[in-house]
Chain A
Amino acid sequence: ETGVTQTPRHLVMGMTNKKSLKCEQHLGHNAMYWYKQSAKKPLELMFVYNFKEQTENNSVPSRFSPECPNSSHLFLHLHTLQPEDSALYLCASSPQGWQPQMGNTIYFGEGSWLTVV
């Protein structure tokens, strides 16, 4: 149990579907992240939220739409995805917003495996 819970763990969706990934953290953290992990590629940061405000959008296509209603919950809304979007999507959190030189340790959830068919 990592303190960061992601649902669903596995999702198969068609290219015209709309679905959402959900993340909840029970650690009292104030920053939350979405990462994408594809086979044989480095982990890609997608979005960062600090105190519910989006502070980073790493040039992510608009078919991925994040939502952060409060510091404990983070969603990733998916619409008209492509097969190359199939990957492991990892949610993470950290105690505070990014603080240079402070040692920002990130706590990850177990991930949501997404397959786009």
Chain B
Amino acid sequence: SQQGEEDPQALSIQEGENATMNCSYKTSINNLQWYRQNSGRGLVHLILIRSNEREKHSGRLRVTLDTSKKSSSLLITASRAADTASYFCATDQEYGNKLVFGAGTILRVKS
């Protein structure tokens, strides 16, 4: 069954604006990761946040994790046209042995 579910399914913004994507999951996790996929290409790891962390930054990316609500958000600040891609959350379940990916959010940044 699907663990992570991203929201919204699609997001269109202007260059320079911030983009926020959300991920909800169902079971307890060890950590949560975000990946990016350019159209028709492989996924690229962006950032990992552990279950005992609440916020993490990497460049223009900010990830938050709320384990009480079983949710995470990915914020991309000052977006660029090159940020256009699909973004996936993936959960490392507490009693699992694999990463489980959500269906993704399609982000389009218009220049």
- Bound pair (A, B): yes
A interface, CB within 8 angstroms of B: 2, 4, 40-43, 45, 48, 55-56, 88, 90, 92, 98, 100-101, 103-111, 113
> A109 contacts which of B2, B42, B45, B97 (Cβ < 8 Å)?
B42
B interface, CB within 8 angstroms of A: 2, 4, 30-31, 33, 35, 40-45, 48, 50, 88, 90, 92, 94, 97-104
**Residues of A with C-beta under 8 A to B100:** 42, 45
Chain A residue with minimal CB distance to B95? A100
Contact yes or no, A2 B42, CB < 8 A: yes
Chain A residue with minimal CB distance to B31? A103
19 contacts between A and B (CB under 8 A): A45-B100, A48-B98, A56-B97, A56-B98, A88-B40, A90-B43, A98-B97, A103-B48, A105-B48, A106-B99, A107-B45, A108-B35, A108-B42, A108-B44, A109-B42, A110-B41, A110-B42, A111-B41, A113-B40
